Amino acid sequence: MSVTSMRLGLLVLTTALLLSARPLAAQMTDSTDVIGNWMERHKISLRRTFDGSKDEQNPATFFWVSEPEGPDDDYVLIDFAVKVNEFEKELNRGSQLLLYPVAEYHRTTREDKPSDKGSGALKLEYRPMMARPWRLVPVLFGDARLSRDFANDVTEQRYAALVSLFGFGRFAPGSPIRRPSRPDGEPGGVIGRWYPYIGIENYQTDSKTTDLDGTFLLGRLWIDFWPLRTLNRRYLQLTGEGTYRGRLGGELGSEDNLWELALSANLYLDPGEHIGIGADHVRGQDPKNTFIYRRRTSLGLKIKF
């Protein structure tokens, strides 16, 4: 048996163990969702990242990546982030400020671009006014992050302030987009949602040899699409995120105009959408790795609680 097939076998075995811990029928009800309920009680969320992008809606990932034409035939890719309790404050009447800490871990064992990065961040969400029909309202996201890449001996700071919009109405940002209701009155299922973002980011990178920084104007469009679903069950999630960064200052990054495209497909195996099999494609300058260009397709197990 080859190493490749052994790793694939391990992935399948892990999935099977996770699913067979309880009978599948028992997982259909929320009250038996033991892990999910425990994490909810302790106010813990597990995702791929909490970096301010809508990747936050994606599950944590433990990928085995096959890249036959790359410098490694295969390598491991791990992305997970943990969010704990949040603090809420009403700064002025009718507003909402949320503050919460986040810890993340991202690792790739790829030989030419190894990464072993841990980070801690303080994040902020500010909603200055209540949502009202037919009016778009702003949402401010702030992020101060300190991270350390142990594989490359690099320390990085990131500060970001992004504004998004939220509104009512069928195609308003943040609002669930539904299929039309059936003639008998049953509502159509939610098939999508989108958010726009604009803001400013500052990165500071310190390594043994160089200290670099860069400030960028950021524009981002995120789209979530559920093409395969009924009113009561969702199976397939497709997400797309396009990000543009225009340099405002500093020398970090190879170009003044930086682009990033991330596409993701997740097929969920349980009604709670905790466990799934997913494929990701990402290309463009990587803000998590000093804006080095990368193009990557991966397939693996996804976990979200």
C-alpha–C-alpha distance, residues 287 and 158, integer Å = 10
- DSSP SS3 for 165: strand
138 neighbors 165 (Cβ within 8 angstroms): yes
57 binds another protein (CB under 8 A): yes
Residue with tokens 């500071």: 204
- Rounded to a whole number of angstroms, the minimum distance from the CB of residue 272 to another protein is 9
Pair of tokens at residue 138: 């702003």
DSSP letter (8 states) at residue 28: G
* Percent of the chain that is helix, strand, coil (3-state, to 5): 15, 55, 30
Using the rule CB under 8 A, is 99 a contact of another protein? no
Residue 33: DSSP 8-state: -
- Contact with another protein (CB under 8 A) among 18, 19, 137, 221: 137
Residue 133 contacts another protein per CB under 8 A: yes
Near another protein by CB under 8 A: residue from 130, 151, 267, 292: 130
Give the span between the Cα atoms of 109 and 107, in whole angstroms: 7
Stretch 162-221 residues interacting with another protein (CB under 8 A):
164, 166, 168-170, 174-178, 181, 185-187, 189-190, 193, 195
The token pair at 8 is 């694939």
Amino acid identity of residue 211, one-letter, is D
Instruction: Find the part of the chain contacting another protein (CB under 8 A) among 105-113, 130-138, 212-220, 255-263.
Output: 130-138
Compute the least distance from the CB of residue 121 to another protein, in Å. Answer: 17
For another protein, the closer of residues 45 and 285 by Cβ is 45
Interface residues toward another protein, by CB under 8 A: 30-31, 33, 36-37, 40, 43, 57, 86, 88, 94-96, 98, 125, 127, 130-131, 133, 137, 139, 164, 166, 168-170, 174-178, 181, 185-187, 189-190, 193, 195, 229, 231-234
